[in-house]
Amino acid sequence: MAAEIHSRPQTARPVLLNKIEGHSDAVNAAVLIPKEDGVITVSEDRTIRVWLKRDSGQYWPSIYHTVSSPCSCMSYHHDSRRIFIGQDNGAIVEFLISEDFNKMNHVKTYPAHQNRVSDMVFSLESEWVVSTGHDKSVSWMCTQSGSMLGRHYFTAWASCLQYDQETQHAFVGDHSGQITLLKLERQTYSTITTLKGHEGSVAALWWDPVQRLLFSGASDHSVIMWDIGGRKGRTLLLQGHHERVQALRYLQLTRQLVSCSADGGIAVWNMDTQREEAPQWLDSDSCQKCEQPFFWNIKQMWDTKTLGLRQHHCRKCGKAVCGKCSSKRSTFPIMGFEFPVRVCDACFETIKEEDRTPLATFHEGKHNIAHMDMDPSRGLMVTCGSDRIVKVNNSCVKHRAAEAKCKPKQIKPTI
């Protein structure tokens, strides 16, 4: 069956400021150094590099350090200049970077996992390093003593992590598509709930502690917003990517969500607008419009002497319908559908032209994006991926961020 190709609405893409090359393997993480013209990268080539911008305008490595195993992820705390590196062998290595960013000293090595470290967060308040790994576990270790405080196992690879510093809650996404919320304590923990909504492995999480919103991106090409603070189970589905969503960043000041996918797609979602939850898909043995039987409804097929039809679902009302009763396609951004999706004929008639106004803009990063970091105050974005290239871009949300700082009540982000 031929694949359906959706065209992506285009706007001006982020402006490329610098391209950093030199790694001999995939770059798994890159972060901007706050208040400095610098970038820190970690790679499968086993190197940790600190790149500083020189007078020539180019980035050159001021620190080039090689470790014993490929580097899979990192957590950098700028105020203390402590950096934690997750490795393919399951260990986490802590370093202290000098004030001039020209030297890096080893502090500790933590035996966190039995397999590749997939994500981690360092909490200065609790002096914990919380991490997830391909050994299907989340662990939390004390950075003062270097000892293991606790561990919890899942049924699938733990792939990504977010941590709330104030409440010590951890959100863990896994390869089964679930997100588990844990309350961490010293030597113990409790499982609060499990969030289910993705149809593929969860690849990225972002937690906003102010509005208490959790965002997740997955291999099913979708992003879900979970309203944790509302305590009503409200979720919003956002569909605009065509590949695995691998990086997320929510800009609380401007109420914008930035998401990046494996094909280089960068989406900027306006979250400062009224949105509706997509309906749950209904189950039925026959079309809920024309009442023709679906192909597994043997009894009705026999009674009516007709062939069974294939089941589809209207994205607007959620009803189970046949192909004849859902021949139309439409965008419906208020429910998160930024490209045309299947709707039943009745719902298609109710969608007005103004209902199709996009609530997101789309840009091309022009390389595989495995990780993304942003500095909204400077309007900078850094991306990296399997092509071994690190790109420093002029962020597509720079002007909105600057405007929000001056006039927060007048902001209406409609990029």
CA 397 distance to own-chain centroid:
17
- Cα separation, 308 vs 329, whole angstroms: 23
pLDDT of residue 301: 82
- Long-range interactions of 62-68: CB distance < 8 A, separation 24+: 62/38, 62/101, 62/102, 63/97, 63/101, 63/102, 63/103, 63/104, 65/95, 65/104, 67/93
Count the neighbouring beta carbons within 10 Å of the beta carbon of residue 274.
Answer: 6
pLDDT band at 227 (very low <50, low <70, confident <90, very high): very high
What secondary structure does DSSP assign to 35-79, as a single string? TSSEEEEEETTSEEEEEEE-TTS-EEEEEEEE-SS-EEEEEEETT
pLDDT of residue 405: 42
pLDDT of residue 291: 84
pLDDT band at 401 (very low <50, low <70, confident <90, very high): very low
- To the nearest 10°, the Cα dihedral for 90, 61, 375, 100? 100
Query: Which residue from 149, 123, 125 is spatially nearest to 138, judged by alpha carbons?
Result: 149
Amino acid identity of residue 338, one-letter, is E
What are the structure tokens assigned to 226, written together? 């979970």
pLDDT of residue 306: 83
Query: Which residue from 323, 325, 292 is spatially nearest to 308, judged by alpha carbons?
Result: 292
pLDDT of residue 395: 78
pLDDT of residue 209: 95
Please state the rounded mean pLDDT for residues 232-249.
93
* Tokens 């149809």, residue located: 199
> pLDDT above 70 covers what percent of the chain?
92
> pLDDT above 90 covers what percent of the chain?
79
What are the structure tokens assigned to 179, written together? 């997100």
Give the pLDDT confidence of 328-379 residue by residue, as tens digits.
Answer: 999 999 999 999 999 999 999 999 999 999 999 999 999 999 999 999 989 9
- In this model, does residue 176 exceed pLDDT 90? yes
Identify whether the C-beta of residue 215 lies closer than 8 Å to the C-beta of residue 209.
Answer: no
pLDDT band at 173 (very low <50, low <70, confident <90, very high): very high
The pTM for the full model equals: 0.88
- Cα separation, 208 vs 249, whole angstroms: 9
pLDDT of residue 13: 65
- The torsion region of residue 322 among left (phi > 0), alpha (psi -120 to 50) and beta comes to beta
Identify whether the C-beta of residue 265 lies closer than 8 Å to the C-beta of residue 365.
Answer: yes
pLDDT of residue 412: 33
Give the pLDDT confidence of 111-126 residue by residue, as tens digits.
Answer: 999 999 999 999 999 9
Give the pLDDT confidence of 2-19 residue by residue, as tens digits.
Answer: 334 344 444 446 889 999
Domains (range + CATH), the chain: 15-281+353-394 (2.130.10.10), 311-350 (3.30.40.10)
Mean pLDDT of the chain: 90
pLDDT band at 399 (very low <50, low <70, confident <90, very high): very low
- To the nearest 10°, the Cα dihedral for 339, 379, 164, 51? 110
Query: Which residue from 229, 151, 137, 217 is spatially nearest to 189, judged by alpha carbons?
Result: 151
